[in-house]
Structure 1
């Protein structure tokens, strides 16, 4: 089977490519990237006026399956991914049962392989049942297809437990992926601590809840030599700690989310529960720090923390509402907005969603090199579209951006050379 993508602006940061080229795909792999390739008997996709990139990679999502399929499942979640140009994603372990054993890993991977629209790479729990008591069988889980370890929204509170996890994972050169939060400092808070929380009468969460745990985990990474990856960094303080640790040679990486570089705590006004996150939306100073981190290399990836919730989980008082929003389908336009605002250039934006996350979790994707699997996103950067509940492919519709018009989207998404999404 042959397919030729013609006349697109090919942006492949892994190979320092940014020019108008054709891409020939044969039997699901990249066969040639060059100007004016002869189509021969290949099926032709005209990409003129569009950007052609490696399929995007989202290293922090919640697919909710097994156990919470009323919120999302692998079929709907990967369909949302494909609609957003995402061809590979990592799913967090807070399912029911928890991803801490091989049968659950195999179930997820098989369902994604045969019924999904994107590649799914499970992230296993650090501890059995995410209870922070007994380490999971890391070697076995890695052999089964997992790419890292996280207790997700449950920070490992015990420092000794975190040390042992880092030491054990480092024997496999696998990352420990953390939600950095001192839960004793959260103490029932539901938004960022500050003037807006006081005005709204909501209990706040201080920045130091994130900063103090980020600091502890960096010190343990420095002690053990293990790879620490910090999820959804939201504060200026944590980013500076990570920046300094990298300068010292500590093996630490981090990701930031579109909502943390696009929204401030002011989004909570009106008690919109789709603005309730963990970590919470912060101040403009923190947003500016996140944007700086994307530009200067402190941040290694943009990840959505795609968190589907049923309307009943959100349609309650703000303090009781579930945390998080869906993000797979709004990842591209929110990131392209950074390019329009000259925070980062296009190549850096694509790097943060392709080869950089692939490298830090050792995922064999994120490039258009000859011989690579033909996971491809074809993007119209100028197309404006309205975010609607009906238009989202996710089962859950908890997006802050419902009703807003965004600019930029995937028009076609290919997984191993097969079109898995096409926008009319």
Structure 2
């Protein structure tokens, strides 16, 4: 089946027709015909979005999310590939488990699900997991992370960086010194946390680990990726590392680009997230760093939770927020609406760079003849209201409930097949 996108706006160019055939872009021109014709006038065509940081909860917590429901949420959000984090039950620390996650993603057929392997066995931070076996497995893992926990032992972190280097893989670090931000910490440390009586989480808990790890990356010559950057201080460490040519990349979440710790005034646990929401000055620094490329990518940290895990006193509630279906709209508001990025910049930060970090050669490609047809069609002038009950996730813990976000995903294509059509899930795509 061929699909013709009529009058679509390419990045920085005039409206054209795009013909898709056999999983690839077959032609770009005018008055192109196809078996299916989509009127794309006024719409923007992006390379399919790639998420470096998704929690799909399977295996172990299928009551909160499954690979199938998370894949549906991802496709509706414009994603064609997601990286599924290792903090499942059992932990994805063996070849057998990452292959199971990979296989379930293929069965869901809506996005390419790339398993993330654990750095340490059981995420315990004591001994290395089966990194080599996972890298050589059918899942071909290229991102390793103990996300949810920091690899705080510097010796173990050094060994992990050394071990992944021959596989051209990357260690994605959850930067949080457990001695500076202990298990009780739940809010940005400052006057507000003191007044609210919430245990504080200082920015230096993140910054000190990032500083240590960029030095280890320089020493080993290995690739390092910093998850969910949240402070202006971390931005400065990254800027210093880039100036020295250290192979470090970084991501920021949509919620850290838009929300501030002032929202904690009412103790609403929907705003409890790891790392915590920070003050406005940190938000501004994160936006500027994403705009100038010091932060490479936007990653959702999609973290679904059941109501019985979130509906507690703030200090007892689970950390995390939904993010897959709202990510593009939040970035459009925080970055495009403010003039900090154009749509070409969004494509770079939400597709091109994350695909390169994750070593996904079929994703994040330029929109040109011969490229794989992993694509996202966006209406930049279609605001929509976030309704938690209408989201594809099994969970409802979105901080954007009732918010009106700009930019609606109209269609998503994976290998030339529509996974989302007119804002609704279409059919799974064969592997």
Shared fold by TM > 0.5?
Answer: yes
Q: Which of 123, 128, 151 is 1:135 aligned to?
A: 128
Gaps of 5+ in 2: 425-431
Which stretch of the first structure deviates more once superposed, 131-140 or 189-198?
Answer: 131-140
TM-score, normalised on structure 1?
Answer: 0.96
- The equivalent residue for 2:167 is 172
Gaps of 5+ in 1: 12-16
In the TM superposition, 1:176-325 aligns within 5 A as 176-187=171-182, 188-325=184-321
- The equivalent residue for 2:32 is 38
In the TM superposition, 1:18-417 aligns within 5 A as 18-32=13-27, 34-39=28-33, 41-144=34-137, 145-187=140-182, 188-337=184-333, 338-364=335-361, 365-367=363-365, 368-417=367-416
| Deviations 1:373-419 (CA, angstroms, capped at 9, x unpaired) | 21111111111211112211111110011111111110111111111
Provide the C-alpha distance between the structure 2 equivalents of 1:376 and 1:148, rounded to a whole number of angstroms: 23
TM-score, normalised on structure 2?
Answer: 0.94
How far has the Cα of 1:29 moved from its partner?
Answer: 1.5
- The equivalent residue for 1:14 is none
How far has the Cα of 1:5 moved from its partner?
Answer: 1.1
- The equivalent residue for 1:9 is 9
The answer (yes or no) to whether the contact 2:18–2:32 under 8 Å persists in 1 is no
Secondary structure at 1:52 match in 2: strand
| Deviations 1:44-76 (CA, angstroms, capped at 9, x unpaired) | 111111111111111100000011100100110
Which stretch of the first structure deviates more once superposed, 308-317 or 140-149?
Answer: 140-149
Secondary structure at 2:331 match in 1: helix
Secondary structure at 1:31 match in 2: strand
Provide the C-alpha distance between the structure 1 equivalents of 2:273 and 2:370, rounded to a whole number of angstroms: 40
Which stretch of the first structure deviates more once superposed, 233-242 or 20-29?
Answer: 20-29
Secondary structure at 2:107 match in 1: helix
Provide the C-alpha distance between the structure 1 equivalents of 2:127 and 2:319, rounded to a whole number of angstroms: 27
Secondary structure at 1:166 match in 2: helix
Provide the C-alpha distance between the structure 2 equivalents of 1:335 and 1:135, rounded to a whole number of angstroms: 36
Which stretch of the first structure deviates more once superposed, 301-310 or 333-342?
Answer: 333-342
How far has the Cα of 1:312 moved from its partner?
Answer: 0.7
The answer (yes or no) to whether the contact 1:74–1:116 under 8 Å persists in 2 is no
Secondary structure at 2:278 match in 1: coil
The answer (yes or no) to whether the contact 2:142–2:168 under 8 Å persists in 1 is no
How far has the Cα of 1:37 moved from its partner?
Answer: 4.6
Which stretch of the first structure deviates more once superposed, 102-111 or 78-87?
Answer: 102-111
Provide the C-alpha distance between the structure 1 equivalents of 2:274 and 2:111, rounded to a whole number of angstroms: 26
Which stretch of the first structure deviates more once superposed, 394-403 or 115-124?
Answer: 115-124
The answer (yes or no) to whether the contact 1:24–1:37 under 8 Å persists in 2 is no
The answer (yes or no) to whether the contact 1:20–1:35 under 8 Å persists in 2 is no
- The equivalent residue for 2:428 is none
Provide the C-alpha distance between the structure 2 equivalents of 1:229 and 1:18, rounded to a whole number of angstroms: 32
| Deviations 1:96-139 (CA, angstroms, capped at 9, x unpaired) | 11111122122111111122311101110011211122212223
Provide the C-alpha distance between the structure 1 equivalents of 2:323 and 2:6, rounded to a whole number of angstroms: 30
**Which 4+ residue blocks in structure 1 deviate beyond 3 angstroms?**
none
The answer (yes or no) to whether the contact 1:92–1:123 under 8 Å persists in 2 is yes
Judged with a 3 Å threshold, the aligned counterparts in structure 2 of structure 1 residues 327 and 196 are, in CA distance, closer, same or farther, namely same
Cα RMSD of the aligned pairs, angstroms, is 1.3
Which stretch of the first structure deviates more once superposed, 382-391 or 253-262?
Answer: 382-391
The answer (yes or no) to whether the contact 2:164–2:170 under 8 Å persists in 1 is yes
**Paired residues, what number?**
417
Secondary structure at 2:185 match in 1: coil
